[in-house]
Amino acid sequence: MQVINWDKQAQKKIRRDYASYFDTKIFKKVSRILAEVRQSGDRALRRYTREFDAVDLPLKRIAVTQSDINRAFEKIRVQFVPLLKKITENVRGYYEKELNRSFEVPGQHGVCLGKQYSAHERVGIYIPAGTAPLVSSVYMTVIPAKVAGVKQIIICTPPRRDTGDIDPHILAVANLLGVNEIYRVGGVQAIGAMAFGTKTISKVDKIVGPGNAYVTEAKRQVYGFVDIDMVAGPSEVAIIADQTANPDFVTCDLLAQTEHNGGIGYLISTSKKLTEIMRSRIDSGIIIQVKSLAEACEVANEIAAEHLEIMTEDPEKVQKSIRHAGAIFVGPYSPAVIGDYYAGPSHVLPTGGTARYFSPLSASTFIKASQTIRYTPEALEASKEHVQKLTEMEGLYLHRISLEARLARNTPEPEKEKNPL
C-alpha cells in the first residue's frame, strides 16, 4: 500500500473531482448507443445485447415471462426464502421511519402554504450481473421504492452469456418483492430503453441502481429525460483506525473491496505500527498517516468515501466529526459487509467523492414534492402592493395584470356551463 503523510500537498493528491472519472471515449460510445436506442428501440436492444453480452435475443424474449420465473424458483435454494423475509423486515423497518409527511402551515388572512409528497409513478431499476449477479441490489432498491409507494417498478438486468437467461436468484427475489416486469437487457442500452421507452419497455420517471462506467455515463446523459438516483464510480472503503484497531479486521475489510472491479481501499491511521502491518499484508490501496483523530476526520471528509469504517477507542466521538460519507460503520463489529447485505439501509451509496453532495438511495429517493399555495381574496388584497412593485421592477406587466384582475371591483364571476340535459 502507498503511504502518504497528511499535509497540504497530500490534500491536493487525495482531493477528488468526479470529472476525473470522465472518459471521452466512453462518453462518445455511450452517446452513440443511446441515440440508436432512441431511434430504433427494440432492434437496438437486440443488436447491442448480441454485441456486448454475446446473446442473440429474439424480441419476444426481451421480457421475462411467468414461466421463466417459475423455472427460477426451481433452481434457488429453499432456505433463501425465509432469509429474504428477515432481510425485508430489516430494510422495510428502517425506511418506514424516514418518510416525509405532507404538511400545511396556516397564515394570516386565510393563507395556507404546504408541501405535498407523492411517489414516482414508474421507476426503473438497473441490476448489474457482470462480475457477479448482485442479488442484494434487488432488495436494496426495490424495498425502499415499495415503502415510498411506487406503483410500477421494472427491472433491467443483463442475460447470462451461457444460457441467455437471468440469474434465478435475481428473478426469484424480484418476484417475491412484487416486481413482475423484468427485462433481459443490460448496459447502456437498458438505460436508454428505460429513459426513452421502446415498443417492449415503457419509459420510466426515474432510473436507479449501480453499474459500471458505461452504465454510469448513460445515467448521466439521460438525466433530464428522466430523474436518476446518483452518478457513482468504483466502490470504495475508508477506515479510520487508531492503536486499538484489530489488524485482522482492518486487513479483511480492505481486501474485501478488491472483490469489486476497481475497488479502492483507504486506511487513515494514527498508528505507525498498524501502518507497517498493513504495508506488509496488502499491495493495493492508500495509507494516510495522520497525527491525530481530528486530522483523520479531516482526511475522511476530504475523501467522502462510499463506506467509512471507524475502528477507534471511542468511535461514537469520531463519528460526530464526520460530515461526508455514504454510510458510516461505527465500531469494530460494524463491517461494511453487514450494510451491503443485511442491516437495513440500502447499499446503493454515493462513490468517488460524490458523498459531498449526493445522498444514499432511500425511500425518499422515490418521493417528489409539490408545494401547495392557497390564498383568499383578503390575503391577495393584503399582498397586492408588494407584488405590484416586484412585477414592475422585473418589467413583467402581464404578471401584474394577472393579480389585479382578481382584485378588480365588480369582477363578474365566470358563467357556469348550462347542463344540456
| CA gyration radius, the chain | 26
3-state secondary structure 394-417: HCCHHHHHHHHHHHCCCCCCCCCC
Residue whose C-alpha cell is 426495490: 142
Burial of 280 (0-12, 13-18, 19+ CB in 10 A): exposed
Q: From CA 380, how far away is CA 404, in angstroms rounded?
A: 9
Residue whose C-alpha cell is 417475491: 176
Active site residues: 306-307
Q: β-pairing, 122-126 with 367-374?
A: unpaired
Maximum alpha-carbon separation in the chain: 91
Residue whose C-alpha cell is 432492434: 43
The secondary structure of residue 224, as a DSSP letter, is T
Residue whose C-alpha cell is 453480452: 53
Q: Are 334 and 309 in contact (CB under 8 A)?
A: yes
Q: From CA 275, how far away is CA 250, in angstroms rounded?
A: 11
Which helix (H) or strand (E) segment holds residue 353: the answer is none
Residue 43 cell numbers, joined:
432492434
Phi-psi region of 149 (alpha: psi -120 to 50; beta: other; left: phi over 0): left
Q: Where are the alpha helices (DSSP H) in 149-286?
A: 168-176, 187-196, 213-222, 247-256, 272-281
Q: Are 10 and 292 in contact (CB under 8 A)?
A: no
Q: From CA 244, how far away is CA 317, in angstroms rounded?
A: 15
HSE of 125 in the Cβ direction (CA atoms, 13 Å)?
Answer: 31
